Structure 1
Amino acid sequence: MAVWRRRLAGNFPRIAVMLHDLVMVWACWQLLHVARYAMLDAAPAIPLLSFDNVGVMVLQAVAFHYVGLYRGLWRFASVTDLVNIFKACFIGLGAIVLVFSYKRLDGIPMSVLAIYPFALAALLGGPRLLYRAWKDYQSIHSDARARRVLVLGAGHAAEALVKDLRRSGDYEPVGLLDDSPHLKGAKLQGIPILGTISDVVPVARETAAKLLVIAIPTLDAAGMQRVVALCESTGLPFRTVPRLSDVLEGNTLPGQLKEVAIEDLLGRKPIQPDWELIRGWLRGRTVMVTGAGGSIGSELCRQCARHGARRIVLLEISEILMLNIRSELCRNFPHLEIECVLGDCGDPAVARRALTLYRPDTVFHAAAYKQVPLLEGQMREAIRNNTLATECVARACQEHGVDNFVFISTDKAVDPANALGATKRYAEMICQGLNEKKGTRFVTVRFGNVLGSVGSVVPLFREQIRKGGPVTVTHPEVSRYFMTIPEACLLILQAAASSSHGAIYMLDMGEPVLIRVLAEQMIRLAGKQPGIDIAIVYTGLRAGEKLHESLLYSDENSRPTAHPKVLEAGAREFSTERVLGSLARLREAVASYDDEAMQAILASVIPEYSPSRGTTEPSMKNNIVPFPKEAGRN
């Protein structure tokens, strides 16, 4: 009995709405008959309840249920609800005509039938809209201390934002700004458009705004930089609305304001991969990812799971990182088969065991050491993990008949000036050398710095700013290519799905970014002024660092692929025998910890690598990759 009482209490609002609608149907039918017969001198008596009344209410109730009228809430009544009401009214009219045709509609005037759906729609829709207006009014005036908000933008995102701000009760939108000149003086949701975005300083002062919200999710990097600079000039805090992609991927909630991130200022146009190609290639496959708990490895796992992989094998040396990515995948993809192999992918027994047990179709090799200054003093580990482990996994894939081996490389492999670049370049050459045999298709994907990855410059700057500075930059002119983690992984999948044997693919990283400018922008985003609140200190280039990185050797004649963000590098001439034949000597040097022998072998295989060049005379060369220009791209 108690269960039924609780169930009844939970459904009471919906029952009340149904009763309201049935009363309105009865009232509409009665009033229309009264109005019709009032024109006659001898009007017939109209009973309060009759067979016709009951029949009309039953038929109309069925129509209401059919169109799903009770799935919505009065609090959020909208045009969609009004459309459903009209549908239900006309469906009800059709049912009335059909059912009562057995008595040739005797006693039902045609004028009543003609007016009935419109009158009933008004009686049903009116109370809903009035209730919503009353609730909106309450939310606006419920708290006199609501924070006054000036919205930048007057499009669909701004309209949705204004509604959300009003519902919350914590914010009061006081005006909008938009660069469309014809909108000035107009109103959006009753809020006036007070000028252009360039007017933000005087308008913010006149409206006593306490918060600025950027509601233009389509802004490119240059546009966002301009708007952020204007917001900073007001001295007020500012936020932005999330992009649709962030909402869909679960990174933020709809209507949730977020701080402007450095990714927004470095922003790049959203990548549109060939979804059909990627999903068709991944669907039903078993995928293995080495370094599955790292920044790139974990995102590759998410993307593969999201786009159709049947099973993912996680190969990771860190038990904590393994547990983290496994828990996340199990939570978000309950139907995905997840297998875990804890161990070093450079151990031949581990690699063979994983491939024998799970027979993956594709292996993504993302495991690597990547910190340039640290690896300069750790040559043995750089070679063991970046070069020899790659060769170990690649040969194991070849022995076990794996269809695809995708090696994740770096822009530092081009004209390498450090241990990271040299060991990654050697690994690229190994993959190209092994590809000469039939069987496994070896693919290399090369890209630059990844925003937000573990150990990258962005988290470092964020922590330095949090502590009050100083922010350390190696050189005023040092620049790097940047890309977000999801963006990089999508393009890895795109390149892998459409690749040819032995190819090296480069991802379009956009324009290189001055690290000094990056630091200044991050300081401003934190509400501080560079050089005033937070100092920027130049520490000098570290061991192995170059001023500029390149994605392409000067003699790697690139050619376009089917995707405008991916280029294929032409094969460079090198001796496969020397590359593969030197591996035995390299293993001996690693086993005996002979740094001089290791560097000598790298230099003999990679003539452009000079172990001392990175510390004494950093390369200032910057090969520009000729990616095709897109329409509207600067």
Structure 2
Amino acid sequence: MNNRKNLLIIGAGAAGKMVLNDFKKTQGFKYNIVGFIDDKASKLNTSLGGVKVLGNRHDIIEICKLKNVHEILLAIPSLSAEGKAEILNICNNTSCEIKILPSMSEIMNIGNLKLSVRNMELEDLLARDPVVLDNVKIAGYISGKTVMITGGGGSIGSELCRQVARFNPEKIVVFDIYENNAYDLQNEFLSAFPNTDLEVVIGSVRDKERLNMVFSKYRPHVVFHAAAHKHVPLMEKNPSEAVINNVLGTLNTANCAKKYNADKFILISSDKAVNPTNVMGATKRLCEMIIQSIGKDSKTEFVAVRFGNVLGSNGSVVPLFKNQIKNGGPITLTHKDVTRFFMTITEAAQLVLEATSYAGQGEIYVLDMGKPIKIYDLAIKLIKLSGLEPFKDINIVITGLRSGEKLYEEMLMDQEDLSEISNSKIFVAKPMNINWSSFEKGLIKLFNVASTGDGVKIRRILSELVETYTYIIEDKSEYEISFENECININDIKRRAIAEMS
């Protein structure tokens, strides 16, 4: 009985020949190689090692049906990210398992071709070219320095730690309120970066005294501020927490960086800060405004890096969809036309390091997120990547847009003047003129209201501070009336009336 899998190899070049020879020697019992795919017309119907070139990329689906292909192996390591994504998206429309041969340098590092072959991941379908870093410039501000990363145990924070470790810092200080994430990162560094001095400090950016103790002890040269609440629906329900953690936390951390003369302070921002329609986005815009204004009389360079969604980050749509697929569906989607910008965690962290090397006071660096991706298409691809068929094995249910959710995100406000720098994946928005005195008074007013938990008043003051913020009060049971220039919450009137009657 023949239990061998039918294998189709894409790429009839040197790498394809290497795969063919290796598989014949080591995995001939497992695979029957049915043919090659190659886009060069001159190779059509020729043979490589006795195996025929059957067609080009446009023939893949038909050949897979005719030859009853079980697995496809992409063996063109030199292919651009865009070219790879185009071919893999075609392959993803078959029922075949898809595998990829990595770059020749990765194969040499692993030392075994069989072990080098990996399964296709969602990231492979996004056409994101690798980031080219200016290692000299980055090493210039990290090597031999103490680097503090708030929220260092989170998705972005932990990847920043890994990337920073490559540039030989004197010390990395991970500051995080969540001990489990920080503990896992600490254990990872013991084996992955044994020569890196990693100090895990548990604490909250809300706690000004704790921050002062940490800054006084470690005197960080560089501060990456990644600690923040980021979930839009949760922050709509908990606006006071969004303000206290995101805005007050940023102000506390930035003030400490200024007080203890850090060289650089980098805020991790979000595309949701642009023309925000939700509390989370409005708080992130306020954080940008803080770093644009607080550094005017400081030796510390304050900058922000703004980007969109990160694939696979905690609580993002991809892990949610994967979990829903694992449980048999359905995948829940708020709107069929919702689009978002995406990049990988590694790419985001690397571009943050690169952008920081260009840092100019109060500037906002906007990362090139590529083309927006329809979340509906993302769901379809994830279902197919799982070897399942959309709407047959896994259904997709449209639930409706949530409060504060946009159909699409933006990377730039109308007032911002965007210019290019030498890295083609990074743009810079020049600082806006913000009057710190009046802005600080508005922040104090916001913090006072946030301490009461009054969501209506919080949103009103947010809209006064962030002129581009628009919102709708979904809960009509609580709203404000204006009387003699004073805003009064209707629920306060009800409570007073009940108290007087009783």
Q: For 1:296, what is the secondary structure of its paired residue?
A: helix
Report the counterpart of residue 479 of structure 1 in structure 2: 339
Find the aligned partners of 1:206 and 1:383 in 2 and give their Cα distance: 60
Deviations along 1:86-110, whole A, 9 cap, x unmatched? xxxxxxxxxxxxxxxxxxxxxxxxx
Find the aligned partners of 1:241 and 1:155 in 2 and give their Cα distance: 13
2:60 pairs, out of 200, 203, 206, with: 200
Report the counterpart of residue 96 of structure 2 in structure 1: 236
Find the aligned partners of 2:475 and 2:406 in 1 and give their Cα distance: 9
Report the counterpart of residue 374 of structure 2 in structure 1: 514
Find the aligned partners of 1:347 and 1:248 in 2 and give their Cα distance: 48
Q: How does 1:382-421 map to 2 (within 5 A)?
A: 382-421=242-281
Find the aligned partners of 2:400 and 2:387 in 1 and give their Cα distance: 27
Report the counterpart of residue 36 of structure 2 in structure 1: 176
The answer to whether the aligner puts 1:344 opposite 2:204 as a matched pair is yes
Report the counterpart of residue 152 of structure 1 in structure 2: 10
Are the counterparts in 2 of residues 417 and 614 from structure 1 also a CA contact under 8 Å? no
1:277 pairs, out of 130, 137, 143, with: 137
Report the counterpart of residue 455 of structure 1 in structure 2: 315
Report the counterpart of residue 267 of structure 1 in structure 2: 127
Report the counterpart of residue 148 of structure 2 in structure 1: 288
Q: Which protein, 1 or 2, shows the higher relative CO under an 8 Å CA cutoff with sep ≥ 6?
A: 2
Task: Give the direction of change, closer, same or farther, for the CA distance of 1:403–1:232 in structure 2 (3 Å limit).
Answer: closer
Find the aligned partners of 1:606 and 1:306 in 2 and give their Cα distance: 38
Task: Give the direction of change, closer, same or farther, for the CA distance of 1:156–1:392 in structure 2 (3 Å limit).
Answer: farther
Q: For 1:582, what is the secondary structure of its paired residue?
A: helix
Segments of structure 2 that go 5 or more residues without pairing to the other structure are 477-502
Deviations along 1:25-77, whole A, 9 cap, x unmatched? xxxxxxxxxxxxxxxxxxxxxxxxxxxxxxxxxxxxxxxxxxxxxxxxxxxxx
Q: How does 1:107-186 map to 2 (within 5 A)?
A: 145-169=3-27, 170-186=30-46
Are the counterparts in 1 of residues 247 and 286 from structure 2 also a CA contact under 8 Å? yes
Give the greater-gyration-radius structure (CA): 1
Task: Give the direction of change, closer, same or farther, for the CA distance of 1:345–1:528 in structure 2 (3 Å limit).
Answer: same
1:543 pairs, out of 398, 403, 411, with: 403
The structure richer in helix per residue is 1
Report the counterpart of residue 481 of structure 2 in structure 1: none
The structure richer in strand per residue is 2
The answer to whether the aligner puts 1:610 opposite 2:470 as a matched pair is yes
Segments of structure 1 that go 5 or more residues without pairing to the other structure are 1-142, 617-634
Find the aligned partners of 2:473 and 2:447 in 1 and give their Cα distance: 24
Are the counterparts in 2 of residues 287 and 309 from structure 1 also a CA contact under 8 Å? yes
2:284 pairs, out of 424, 427, 432, with: 424
Task: Using the TM superposition, name which of 237-246 and 278-287 deviates more.
Answer: 237-246
Report the counterpart of residue 111 of structure 1 in structure 2: none
Deviations along 1:376-414, whole A, 9 cap, x unmatched? 010111011110000001001111111111000000001
Are the counterparts in 2 of residues 180 and 196 from structure 1 also a CA contact under 8 Å? yes
Aligned residues: 473
Are the counterparts in 1 of residues 60 and 90 from structure 2 also a CA contact under 8 Å? yes
Find the aligned partners of 1:245 and 1:363 in 2 and give their Cα distance: 33
**Identity score, percent:** 38
Task: Give the direction of change, closer, same or farther, for the CA distance of 1:312–1:185 in structure 2 (3 Å limit).
Answer: same
Find the aligned partners of 2:298 and 2:33 in 1 and give their Cα distance: 65
2:304 partner letter = T
TM-score (norm 1): 0.70
Find the aligned partners of 1:360 and 1:254 in 2 and give their Cα distance: 44
Q: For 1:284, what is the secondary structure of its paired residue?
A: coil
1:534 Cα deviation after fit: 2.2
1:553 partner letter = M
Are the counterparts in 1 of residues 176 and 202 from structure 2 also a CA contact under 8 Å? yes
Report the counterpart of residue 312 of structure 1 in structure 2: 172
Report the counterpart of residue 494 of structure 1 in structure 2: 354
Find the aligned partners of 1:198 and 1:533 in 2 and give their Cα distance: 27
1:460 Cα deviation after fit: 1.0
Report the counterpart of residue 300 of structure 2 in structure 1: 440
Find the aligned partners of 1:243 and 1:213 in 2 and give their Cα distance: 14
TM-score (norm 2): 0.88
Deviations along 1:348-399, whole A, 9 cap, x unmatched? 1221121111111100000011000111010111011110000001001111
Find the aligned partners of 2:271 and 2:172 in 1 and give their Cα distance: 27
Find the aligned partners of 1:259 and 1:309 in 2 and give their Cα distance: 34
Are the counterparts in 2 of residues 418 and 614 from structure 1 also a CA contact under 8 Å? no
Task: Give the direction of change, closer, same or farther, for the CA distance of 1:264–1:360 in structure 2 (3 Å limit).
Answer: same
The answer to whether the aligner puts 1:593 opposite 2:489 as a matched pair is no
